Chains A and B, each alone.
Chain A
């Protein structure tokens, strides 16, 4: 199937009429997110985020590779976003859809280019060996707000992941199995999140966390990524009707509120998960940060 089925004219008109009367079809407020659900797998670095029906799973993994010649002191961090027909039959395998390009660009800008992950800490021996951390974003169910959900899952997975510990003796590098030494958390410099605003009626109606139907009817979108301190990583507005600069400023204030909520949620869930893993309270003793 080459593309997503368009909603009917009636469905569109109904949605727009409802918005004019300040009602969303699912009864949410305009700036309200759907139920956010975040869960972690049994392994480190697997996080699943749900926004209503939208479901994204991110898996972070790492391997030891040769460091690139021009960036001797850096490790490698890649994000792979490949949409599959699991999310929607409109996504074809092996062909980049516009949604996929958009998703990977925004994630790249939000997380990689903003320096959220400290790549220097992934270096083992300068110019020779480093960790290659890869994050695979698997979109499992597509019902709008893919970017927001993916970003949330990705940040949560990165914070949850632990890379294997290593030891350098001269030129020799020993990588320890998780059974030998407790793996180490990645060092994150900040946690950026993305908030997408869809706008209607020449920018007079701004919706947060649009469903797929709302996305198909909107005039355009503004995507803002920032961390909980209000530091903006990127603002993207790729197409659609023009928006007023003032309303973009307004969006930023709203986004900051939401980002703070996301940040709190991720931290609370991580703590919960850590408690679940900490059987018998031995985790503190196992930590690789302890003196040997």
Chain B
């Protein structure tokens, strides 16, 4: 099932999006460019500020780690040099998490499992907020089951019994921008995982022509991200066409 997305659910932020998949729901809001505090100001580029807020409780080391990972990922696509001495603020509110914050999933799994949703929500909100991006980006979760089978975008049942979990993000062009893994796996498995994940990521925003080529593989190749964004652009331009 493709993920469900609402674009611009909020009125205050410049860009916002909710992203719901089988495991988690994340609400993202983007404000920018804003005035930056003197302490965080960078002379040649925009400061990228990421806040992750958990569904229950206050943020701790876990959220700081997620923020650090997201910062590196988003900085690779946001055109930070366009807005020197400014601030781009990305706030992410986790609304629903797999099995109550990953408590029943084993160490580290809950964090990795929520990462793709955070990345996808942030990217959609950035696009909605009109923040300049170098190119598209999408992320996917891949689970390796007990018999070595790969499951792209797994459900909770798969998560509980899997050997390892991998959160992978790819930019347009196929560049790997995020790779966070947990569990037991070897290099061969990891290579397979990255290949599968790359296909799935690129399929999310593949254009129609490429899409057919992708559909030959066994990956569920629905360009959900492209569909959502195309629809948004069409809505935004509706006034132009009606006059």
Contacts and interface: CB of A to CB of B under 8 A. Distances in A.
Given A1-B34, A134-B57, A140-B27, A86 B11 contact: no
Contacts of A39: none
A57 B51 contact: no
Interface residues of B, number: 23
Given A1-B35, A138-B53, A82 B10 contact: no
B56 A61 contact: yes
A32 B56 CA distance: 33
Interface residues of A, number: 27
Contact of A85 (B51, B57, B58, B100): B51
B12 interface: yes
B123 interface: no
A136 B55 contact: yes
A70 interface: no
A2 B87 CA distance: 13
Contacts of B57: 61, 80, 134, 136
B47 interface: no
A234 interface: no
A59 B31 CA distance: 25
B229 to A, nearest CB: 21
Given A89-B89, A140-B27, A53 B11 contact: yes
A85 B91 contact: yes
Interface in A20-67: 41-43, 46, 53, 55, 57, 59, 61
B75 interface: no
Contacts of A59: 55-56
Interface in B4-47: 10-13, 16, 27, 29, 31, 34-35, 37
Given A59-B56, A136-B56, A85 B89 contact: yes
Interface string B89-105: 10101011000100000
Contacts, number: 66
B110 to A, nearest CB: 15
Question: Which of the listed residues B51, B56, B58 has the most CB atoms from chain A within 10 Å of its own CB?
Answer: B56
B93 A42 contact: no
A114 interface: no
B31 A141 contact: no
A144 B148 CA distance: 53
Contacts of A41: 95-96
Given A85-B51, A86-B27, A141 B91 contact: no
A87 interface: yes
Contacts of A80: 57-58
Interface of A: 1-2, 41-43, 46, 53, 55, 57, 59, 61, 80, 82, 84-89, 93, 134, 136, 138, 140-143
* Nearest 4 A/B pairs, CB to CB: A61-B56, A86-B29, A89-B31, A86-B91
16 contacts: A1-B34, A2-B37, A55-B10, A59-B56, A80-B57, A85-B29, A85-B91, A86-B12, A86-B27, A86-B29, A86-B53, A86-B93, A88-B12, A89-B31, A89-B89, A138-B53
